[in-house]
Amino acid sequence: MIDPSVFQLVCFYAFAAVTVIAALSVITLRNSVQAVLSLVLAFFSTACIWMLAEAEFLAIALIVVYVGAVMVLFLFVVMMLDIDQEKLREGFVKYLPVGLIVAVVMLVEMLGLIGVRVMHTQTMGVNPATAAGMSNTAWLGMALYTQYLLPFEVAALILTVGVIAAVALTLRQRTGVRHQQASEQVAVKASDRVRIIKMAAERPVDSQPASAQESKS
C-alpha cells in the first residue's frame, strides 16, 4: 500500500535534492551555457516543490515567466557572448576576500532571520483557498484584485516605470538610418512607381538588313 503522504514526502526530498544540486552546479560548472541550463533546472524543480505545496499558480507562473521567458533571454545572451574563461579566472584570487566577506555577511543575516522566525513559532493556518472552496488560482486572483488591489497596482506601476526607464536608457537617436514605413509601403499605388506610356509602334526608316548597315559604316 503506498501511503500518499509518504509518497509526497519522498517527492519533496527528491525535488529538493535536484534543486540543491542544480543550484550548486550553476556556480561550479565552467561552461556558462551549462550553468544557465542548471539554473533552468533549479527553477523547474522549485516549481515542482511549489506544486507539491498546492501553490499551483505560483508554480506555473515561475515556469512561464522565468523558465519560459527570462532564462531564454539569458541563454540567448550567454550563447552570443564569447566569454574567455581564462581571463575570468584571473581575478578569482584578487576578489576572493571580498567575496568571502559578502558570503559570510549573507550567511549571518540568513541565520539571524531563520532564528527570529523560529523564536516566533507561528503555526501555519489552514490553506485559505481550500477553506474558501476555490482553486488556488481563483483565490489568489480574488485576493489580489480586492483586498490587495492598491499594492498590486503600485507594483504594476513600478514595473511599468522600470520598462520605460530601460527603453529610455538604451534608446539612441541615430541619424542617417532609413526605417521601413509599412503604412507608406501598403499605401503605394502602381501609378506612383510605374508610368505607362501609350506610343505608336516604331519602324526602321529603311528596311535594309542590319549586316548591310554595319558594313556600310
Per rule CB under 8 A, count of chain residues that contact other proteins: 26
Check binding of 182 to other proteins (CB under 8 A): yes
**Of the two residues 19 and 59, which places its CB atom closer to other proteins in the complex?**
59
Check binding of 40 to other proteins (CB under 8 A): yes
Q: Which of 14, 79, 81, 159 touches other proteins (CB under 8 A)?
A: 79
> Shortest approach of other proteins to residue 64 CB, angstroms?
5
Q: Which of 9, 20, 64, 165 touches other proteins (CB under 8 A)?
A: 64
Residue 71, C-beta contacts closer than 8 angstroms, at least 6 positions apart: 36, 39, 40, 43
**Of the two residues 70 and 113, which places its CB atom closer to other proteins in the complex?**
70
Residues 98-157 that bind other proteins (CB under 8 A): 135-138
Site string for other proteins, 2-21 (x = CB under 8 A): x-------------------
Check binding of 167 to other proteins (CB under 8 A): no
